[in-house]
């Protein structure tokens, strides 16, 4: 269920944003899940897990670099293949 755009269970929000700002490398998420026992409407407790976003930001930066390098390699290899095929076509044209 959503409460104000935030996932919730029995009206209790599940995710709390902690840290400085969303773009800060040291920001984190605090995920809290309320514990209920079937047949009892009372909340028994809360299970909380903290998740640092620093590693995620590092992985995203590394993936962006890899995509950039693969793109440059792909363009460079395409140019080499195009140049080779052009030279082969010119040789075939000159042989006629």
pTM over 0.85: no
CA-based radius of gyration for the chain: 28
Residue count of the chain, please give it.
Answer: 96
Helix (DSSP H) and strand (DSSP E) numbers for the chain: 1, 6
pLDDT of residue 2: 43
CA distance 74 to 24: 33
CA distance 48 to 77: 50
Query: Could you say which residues of the chain have pLDDT below 70?
Result: 1-26, 96
């Amino acid at each position: 269920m959503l409460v104000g755009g935030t996932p919730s269970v029995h009206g209790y929000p599940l995710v709390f944003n902690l840290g400085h700002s969303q773009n800060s490398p040291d920001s984190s998420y605090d995920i809290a899940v309320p514990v209920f026992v079937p047949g009892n409407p009372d909340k028994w407790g809360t299970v909380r897990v903290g998740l640092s976003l620093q590693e995620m930001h590092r992985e995203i930066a590394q993936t962006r670099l890899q995509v950039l390098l693969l793109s440059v390699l792909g363009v460079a290899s395409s140019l080499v293949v195009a140049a080779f095929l052009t030279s082969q076509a010119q040789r075939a044209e000159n042989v006629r």
